[in-house]
Amino acid sequence: MKNFTALLLASILCLQSCAQNDKEMNEKATQILSNLYKEVRHYDQRINYQADIFIGGCNLELLINDFPVQTYFDSGNGAISTSIPINTAILRPGTQTWKIRIYPIHDVTQINGVITKLPRASIEENARVEIKIEGIRYKENGDIEKHFGKVLEFKAPLIKDEKTGKNKLADAGKTYIEYSGTFEANVPYNLSGWQNSEDLRSIEPEMLKLEVVKEYEKISQWLKDRNLINIAQAKLKSKKEEAQALFYNNSTNNEYITDFIDTWGHENTKVQSLENYSLQFYGNGKIVTLISNTYKKSPLWATFKDDKNEDNYVIYSLYLHSPKGKKELEIIR
């Protein structure tokens, strides 16, 4: 009985200690990230560029200035419509580049007992892609204050099928399609970002891969330890730029902190091992990341129990660069 009582007391003390550690971790991470909005400049000139995307019957990757702002790799022939902010890929005012990469849809299959996704042989005739980019100013409560008008409106070209008389994708039948162009953005800021970063393509691929994996494994261990302080410090430079690009105010800063703790600080998180991945370059070779060969997303992910005690998961994307004159990799987005 004494042994049971001692064990119970030890368990209670352990739980209390863990709860206290989590609370302190949350508070310190909050302190690190709580003043992002105070460094935001030109708030009265703010303009948020929003991309409205419609796709059907294909997979897609949208890049702004060679940085991925939206990816979709899934199965099915249905249509999907979404709207996303793209300012974090816009580093300075002036001419910006856009690129749409189109791939065949994927079918879910099982190979040697492992569920995987395999792309179809080609992009099909019923595939559709549309994108619009518009400048918007938001009020502090999130309502739209002003429309600055569309700076881009693109539809993948269609042709009429001579047999059926129906429209079909002009470039159907290919395994890959790419459309690109430019648009003008009048943002009032200038971010360092990766403008002056090292070109990582000059590094021997296997050596670079080892360094990238080392960074991922470091973050993975911090996730396992729920070390929000180290994660917040590692992301601080990137988040300062994102706060400026998205014109954080006190309210949006607090929302970000809540999201940060919820995303990176799940309790009882089970971080999965890194496997089956490849290097992927962005930012004209100045940014590198890891992409799962199976799911075309980050291979860093974890499972957890949500509020309803149901199984859920979260994927952690990391975009790394090496500032000019440095060899070490850092998180830039």
**Which range (10-14, 185-189, 286-290) has the least confidence?**
10-14
Phi-psi domain of 296 (left: phi exceeds 0; alpha: psi -120 through 50; beta: other):
left
Answer whether residue 311 shows pLDDT above 90.
Answer: no
Chain segment 22-78, per-residue pLDDT in tens: 899 999 999 999 999 999 999 999 999 999 999 999 999 999 999 999 999 887 777
At 186-239, the pLDDT tens digits run 999 999 999 999 999 999 999 999 999 999 999 999 999 999 999 999 999 999
On average, the pLDDT of the chain sits at 92
pLDDT of 328 reads 94
pLDDT at 15 over 90: no
Cα separation, 257 vs 299, whole angstroms: 24
Please state the rounded mean pLDDT for residues 293-322: 92
Residue type, 61: E
What average pLDDT does range 258-283 have in this prediction?
94
> What is the pLDDT averaged over residues 298-312?
90
Query: If pLDDT is split at 50, 70 and 90, which confidence band does 113 have?
Result: confident
What number is the average pLDDT over the span 304-329? 92
pLDDT digit string (tens) for 119-166?
899 999 999 999 999 999 999 888 999 999 999 999 999 999 988 889
The model's pTM is: 0.89
326/67 Cα distance (integer angstroms): 21
What is the model's pLDDT at position 327? 87
Q: How far is CA 202 from CA 127, 181, 197, 205, 206, in A?
A: 37, 27, 12, 8, 12
Please return the burial class of 289, using the count of CB atoms within 10 Å of its CB with bins 0-12, 13-18 and 19+.
Answer: buried
User: Closest Cα partner for 216 from 286, 288, 270, 281?
Assistant: 288
What pLDDT does residue 299 have? 97
Whole-number pLDDT of residue 163 = 87
pLDDT at 17 over 60: no
What are 281's two structure tokens?
Answer: 């370059």
Asked whether the beta carbons of 278 and 289 are under 8 A apart, the reply is no
What proportion of the chain, given as a percentage, has pLDDT over 90? 78
For the CA atoms of the chain, what is the radius of gyration?
23
Match 């007391």 to its residue by tokens: 9
**Mean pLDDT along residues 307-327:** 92
Q: Determine the average pLDDT of the residues in 168-183.
A: 97
CA dist., res. 300 & res. 257, Å (int): 21
Supply the pLDDT for residue 14. 45
Higher pLDDT residue, 309 or 116? 309
Q: Which pLDDT belongs to residue 76?
A: 72
Residue 257 reports pLDDT greater than 60: yes
- Candidate from 34-38, 101-105, 116-120 with smallest mean pLDDT: 116-120
Task: For residue 152, give Cα distances in angstroms to 39, 95, 129, 181.
Answer: 30, 12, 14, 9
Confidence of residue 18 (pLDDT cuts 50, 70, 90): low
